[in-house]
Amino acid sequence: MKKIVLSFILSSVCLLGMSQKSQIDLPITWDDTANVDYSVIGFGNDTANLAVDPTSASNIVLGIVKPSGGGTQIWAGVVLGNDSLASAIPFSAGNTTIIARVYSSAIGIPMRLKVENESNAAIASETEVNTTVVGWDTLSFDFSTPVTGTPGLVFTNTYDKMAFFPNFGTVPATDETYYIDYVAFIGGSSGPSKAQIDLPINWDDTANVNYAVIDFGGNVSSSVVDPTNASNLVLKTEKPSTAQGWAGTTLGSALATAIPFSASNTTMEAIIWSAASGIPVLMKVEDQTNAGIFVETLASTSRVGWDTLTFDFANPSPNAQALNFANTYDKVSLFFNFNVVPSATETYYTDDVWFGGASSGPSKAQIDLPINWDDTSNVSYSITPFGGNISTVVTDPTNASNLVLQIDKPATAQSWAGTTLGSSALATAIPFATTRTVLQAKVWSAASGIPILLKVEDQTNAGIFVETLASTSKVGWDTLTFDFSNPGPNAQALNFSNTYDVISIFFNFNVVPSALETYYLDNISFGQLITGISEYKSNPTFSVYPNPANDVVTIDATLLNKVNQVIVKNAVGQIVLQKNVSAIDNKLNVSNFENGVYFMILSSELGTKTSKFMVTK
């Protein structure tokens, strides 16, 4: 009996000596482990534990692991708390936002947050945003825009339970680790000290600008990585088959400043990605305080891939209001494939949206020679396909670190289908001269013998042009030389007093293909054709063989004394090999040379001598 009494007394003392930990509640910082019960509940195979911040050893965060396979569900997540919060989230009209600091090792990861009633799981709402940086990112979860197919907030309901779903909708190929810190209800705030969205919009300054958008009619939009440029952020908009024909997306609730329309400044421009040409895109501007004041106008995509569309509000859509310069227009919405209900989900991307009346574009330089497609951040590589061609800038299929222009010529294209390099003209005219008549281009083709026509013309006068032909000599990448001193049949002759500032290329010219043909284009440059070298016209005093060659050439320089330098130039005068030598090596490896004409220049005591040879593989 004494033992029982003593045991009871000891147990009571232990319980009295323990400090009761409070239930988890917003805001959640994970730092007060002594006083707050930070227990969480993983589900769907996710696990979660308190961990050290990977960027700050003094900070405690919640680490979440989403395993690969092994029973992991696409909806795996973590309840933030041991079932529920201590108090209900105080949602109300205009106060619908929760923020969370989230750490991810990748951009564009979908993070979903769900709130529900702890005693009734049918009362719930979900919203989702994507990470925009590698590392810590402050995400704003606005429950006024719930995920399509999930219930909206009902302010008379109680929401006292919260679940977080990292990389929602995916079972990862390898284990993924995420961290979450500082979860807080901020009501109607757009986030911690972020500026209101305003023109020009480019989606890149996520740390300082609130790029939240408002979808309606069934659209689903989020900030993601540009599918054609991993260093660029854009707005992705999906229009599912369940959407309305008029589904659209408002770019923010309103702009920080009204659009400065005037009699001579009536255009807006936007860079749009579409998987098809001919897609009607409607832009609407309105007064955010008066929905009855608005103007709408239409433009259509002209190519697959990125396209710069101009929306001229001086030409409103049929039955739409006319632009009134006395009105305020401070809200912008985009409607992709307007008035069409798609048969399957359609995906679009939006970048750089700006007021065209005040600027020609978002500070990108006009395209100019040489063209290599790599400086997408600073150069506008807009192109203009015609005759049924489809062109877009893509990753080089043979080199993942290189960008090139892909040109598709479908069976429905015209035989003369082509692509103009630029939306209109080059920044500077091509400086043709008597000894400078050549353009070179690196092209990829699936066949040899493909005729390729290059055309140069005057942007202000389409009647001034020259065309010349070259053909591919192998499968894969090939460097072609286009000599405009040798124009094509029935074409004008090159006139050095004319201006030539537009370049167009025509793959498989004068042929209608039986099936889709794909070509790639890179490195278009201007140079000098070295056919008039005086040393070559005279006795070169050395020879190169075999000629043509494909892998190794032999140099017979027995008539020259003390060769001290070897230089090899291509047809436009670019040095492709240069080396100083004490005695000439009579073998030279040319296996890595492109097909074409080359000039070997040997320097010796007898002076400089030149010999021509060809490489054909």
Alpha helices in 266-404 (DSSP H): none
Mean pLDDT along residues 108-116: 93
Same domain, 494 and 557: no
The per-residue pLDDT for 85 is 92
Chain centroid offset of residue 428 CA: 27
Q: Is residue 377 part of a domain?
A: no
Looking at the structure, do residues 562 and 497 belong to the same domain, yes or no? no
- Per-residue pLDDT band for 19 (boundaries 50, 70, 90) equals low
| pLDDT score at 44 | 92
Report the DSSP pairing between strands 517-527 and 543-545.
Answer: unpaired
> Quick one: 26 and 172 in the same domain?
yes
- Nearest in space to 203 (alpha carbons), one of 309, 332, 353: 353
Q: How many domains does the chain have?
A: 4
> Can you give the pLDDT at residue 377?
65
How far apart (Å, rounded) are the C-alpha atoms in residues 88 and 117?
Answer: 9
* Confidence band, pLDDT 50/70/90 cuts, at residue 341: very high
**For position 532, what pLDDT does the model report?**
39
Q: Which of 478, 494, 527 is the last residue of a domain?
A: 527
Whole-number pLDDT of residue 559:
66
| CA 97 vs CA 78, 94, 123, 283, 567: distances in Å | 19, 9, 18, 28, 67
Residues 340 and 464 in one domain: no
Tell me the CATH number at 592.
2.60.40.1930
CA distances from 439 to 2, 27, 573 (A): 105, 64, 11
Mean per-residue pLDDT over the chain, rounded: 83
Burial class (CB in 10 A: 0-12, 13-18, 19+), 441: buried
162 and 34 share one domain: yes
At 56, which CATH number? 2.60.120.430
Say if residue 542 is in the same domain as residue 415.
Answer: no
Decide if 169 contacts 74 (C-beta within 8 A): yes
Q: What is the pLDDT of residue 583?
A: 55
Domain that holds residue 412: 384-527
Has residue 56 been placed in a domain? yes
On whether residue 4 sits in a domain, the answer given is: no
| pLDDT at residue 338 is higher than 90 | yes
501 located within any domain = yes
Mark whether 439 and 304 lie in a shared domain.
no
Here the tokens at position 199 are 């023109």
Q: Is 491 inside a domain boundary?
A: yes
**What is the pLDDT, as a whole number, of residue 606?**
67
The vertex-257 CA angle with 255 and 261, nearest 5°, equals 105
**Secondary structure percentages of the chain, helix, strand, coil, to 5:** 5, 45, 50
Which pLDDT band, with edges at 50, 70 and 90, does 437 fall under? confident
pLDDT reported for residue 65: 94
Residue 516 belongs to domain with CATH number = 2.60.120.260
My answer on whether 33 and 170 are in the same domain is: yes
> Is residue 342 within 8 Å of 240, Cβ to Cβ?
yes
Q: Which residues make Cβ contacts (< 8 Å) with residue 313, sequence separation at least 6?
A: 261, 266, 267, 268, 285, 295, 297, 323
Question: At which of 527, 543, 558 does a domain end?
Answer: 527
Asked if the structure places residue 549 within a domain, the reply is yes
> Is the same domain home to 538 and 515?
no
Quick: pLDDT tens for 352-401: 898 875 444 455 678 888 888 877 767 777 777 888 888 877 788 888 77
Contact of 112 with 165, CB cutoff 8 Å: yes
Compute the radius of gyration of the chain from its Cα atoms.
33
Would you tell me how many other CB atoms lie within 10 Å of the CB of residue 484? 23
Domain membership flag for residue 376: no
Alpha-carbon gap, residue 413 to 430, rounded angstroms: 29
The pTM of the full predicted model, rounded to 2 decimals, is 0.40
- Give CA separation, 346 vs 29, 127, 150, 179, 238, in Å: 40, 21, 20, 32, 6
Does position 11 have pLDDT exceeding 80, yes or no? no
- Which residue among 527, 542, 568 closes a domain? 527
The reported pLDDT for the residue numbered 2 is 38
Q: Residue 177 above 90 pLDDT?
A: yes
pLDDT at 58 over 80: no
The set of residues, in sequence order, having a beta carbon less than 8 Å from that of 475 and lying 6+ positions away, is 445, 446, 447, 448
Query: Range with the lowest mean pLDDT among 71-75, 251-255, 525-529, 596-600?
Result: 525-529
Please check whether residues 280 and 351 belong to one and the same domain: yes
**Predicted confidence (pLDDT) per residue in 497-537, tens digit:** 999 999 999 999 999 989 999 999 998 988 654 443 333 44
User: What is residue 535's predicted lDDT score, i.e. its pLDDT?
Assistant: 39
Within this chain, do residues 45 and 176 fall inside the same structural domain, yes or no?
A: yes
Does residue 168 have a pLDDT over 90?
Answer: yes
Are 242 and 305 in a shared domain? yes
* pLDDT for 283 beyond 50: yes
What would the two tokens of residue 85 be? 């919060």
Asked, for residue 165, whether it belongs to a domain, the answer is yes
Torsion-angle region of 392 (φ positive above 0: left; ψ -120 to 50: alpha; else: beta)? beta
